[in-house]
Amino acid sequence: MALSRDDVAKLADLARLELTEAELERLVGQLDLILASVASVSQAAAAEVAPTSHALALVNVMREDEVTESLPPEAVLAMAPAVEEGRFRVPRILGESA
């Protein structure tokens, strides 16, 4: 499918681009090449090849959950910048009331 100068001018108008005559002439050839390249890729896809999003299968690598002893609350709160009533104190957001 060959694009004409008028086709490129209409596309430029739809994209709200102001192009000079020289730019229009140059883009006719460039857009033709792009369209031909896309068409050749679509011809390569065979009906028996399933569409994929990745070349390789994605697999999550998960480790086993292991129950371990955690830090005591006093040790954790000792590292906090602010503590109130045995909990982390954080700034109020979005004008929330207490």
- Per-residue pLDDT reduced to its tens digit, 59-93: 888 889 899 999 999 999 998 999 999 999 998 88
Give me the domain span that covers residue 13: 5-44
What is the C-alpha separation between 47 and 44, in angstroms, rounded?
10
Residue 24 lies in a domain: yes
pTM of the predicted structure, to 2 decimals: 0.43
Residue 30 lies in a domain: yes
What is the tens place of the pLDDT at every residue in 25-65? 999 999 999 988 888 877 776 677 777 788 888 888 888 98
Kindly state the percentage of the chain with pLDDT values over 90.
50
Task: Judge contact between 54 and 47, C-beta under 8 A.
Answer: no
Q: How confident is the model at residue 23 (pLDDT cuts 50, 70, 90)?
A: very high
| CA dihedral (85, 86, 88, 94) positive or negative | negative
Residue 20 lies in a domain: yes
CATH number at residue 23: 1.10.20
Domain count, the chain: 1
